[in-house]
Amino acid sequence: MEEILNALNKITKELDMQRHEIRETGKNVTEKVTQNINQMLEEKFLILEEKHEKLKEIVENQEKRLYYLEKQARKRNLVIFGIEETETSYENLETNIMKWIDQYFALKLTYSDNQEVKRVGKKEKRPRPVIVTFLTLGMKIKVLKQKRALQETQYYIKEDYPKYVLEKRKELQEQLQLEREQGNRARIKYDKLIISKNFTKRKLPISPENVTASNIETNTQTNKKNKIQQRSTSVKRSNSISEGVIKPGILNFLVNKDTTNITRNQENNL
């Protein structure tokens, strides 16, 4: 019986060892499998990330191109507000716009100066704005420079901006008002707020050269006055140098010529 029990114990120990080995090998296999799967997933993720970055760059470039094209397409446009909606056809609208520009801006346009004229928005009680596309940018600038002629009228003109630019400009209005309240010069240019702070003008310090020049001027004027007063006295002087006649130095000739000429004329008169 003891031999049988010993044999059974050995068998159970061997089975336990085999189970432990099987579990360890299973763990190793699962770890290797998971590592391989993770590595494959990481490689695929990196590939997808690179593709995503490339697509993102392409989309950004396309958006920039669309942004530039839309900006260029609206560059020669002007939006006119307040013109009565009485036209019955495209030709009638175009002639009305040409007459209106001639009336308020004294610019006689021809049909070749306009590329397109159209109204924007839903038809309501109030007149819809008119977008005028000029053939050249110079003609648009001529009209835009004279927009002050519409100050006392119901009409007004504006630049033609895309929708997202209009929204951006609307957001910047509050900041524009705050900057102006603080005393800064601010304006909205396209979709950006440009601020130029007011700086107080400082007095420039007087340089030593200016100081010496001013001192020289005052000294020469006082010397010449003394000289005139001395000549006006009844005392006769000789032409000798020993009697203290003051001769002008080189610095006196650097003073303004007008002052020297005036003093010479005064001396001759005296």
Identify the band that residue 252 occupies on the pLDDT scale cut at 50, 70 and 90.
very low
Q: Which residues pair with 77 in a beta bridge?
A: 133
Looking at residues 93-121, what average pLDDT do you find? Answer: 90
Compute the mean pLDDT over every residue in the chain, rounded to the nearest whole number.
75
- Quote the longest CA-to-CA distance of the chain: 167
- Give the C-alpha separation, 115 to 94, whole Å: 10
Contact between residue 155 and residue 82 where contact means Cβ atoms under 8 Å apart = yes
Tokens linked to 226: 């003394």
Which carries the bigger pLDDT value, residue 159 or residue 14? 159
Identify the band that residue 219 occupies on the pLDDT scale cut at 50, 70 and 90.
low
Contact between residue 197 and residue 184 where contact means Cβ atoms under 8 Å apart = yes
Pairing verdict, β 114-119 and 185-189? unpaired
Q: Give residue-wise pLDDT tens across range 146-155.
A: 988 898 899 9
Identify the band that residue 4 occupies on the pLDDT scale cut at 50, 70 and 90.
confident
Angle (nearest 5°) at CA 259 between 254 and 263: 115
Residue for token pair 């990330």: 49
pLDDT > 90: percent of the chain: 23
- Give the C-alpha separation, 259 to 176, whole Å: 54
Tokens linked to 149: 């002629």
Q: Which among 52, 77, 186 is positioned nearest to 131, based on CA atoms?
A: 77
Quote the pLDDT of residue 89. 92
Quote the pLDDT of residue 217. 54
Q: Buried b vs exposed e over 229-259: b needs ≥16 C-beta within 10 Å?
A: eeeeeeeeeeeeeeeeeeeeeeebeebeeee
**Domains in the chain, CATH or no CATH each:** 53-160 (3.30.70.1820), 162-202 (no CATH), 206-229+248-270 (no CATH)
Looking at residues 168-189, what average pLDDT do you find? Answer: 82
- Give the C-alpha separation, 106 to 145, whole Å: 12
The answer, as to whether pTM is greater than 0.75, is: no
- Give the C-alpha separation, 130 to 143, whole Å: 14
Contact between residue 83 and residue 130 where contact means Cβ atoms under 8 Å apart = yes
Alpha-helical regions (H) of 74-191: 90-105, 137-145, 163-181
Which range, 23-37, 63-77, 178-192, has the best average confidence (pLDDT)? Answer: 63-77
Q: What's the distance, CA 196 to chain centroid?
A: 10
Which range, 144-148, 205-209, 248-252, has the best average confidence (pLDDT)? Answer: 144-148
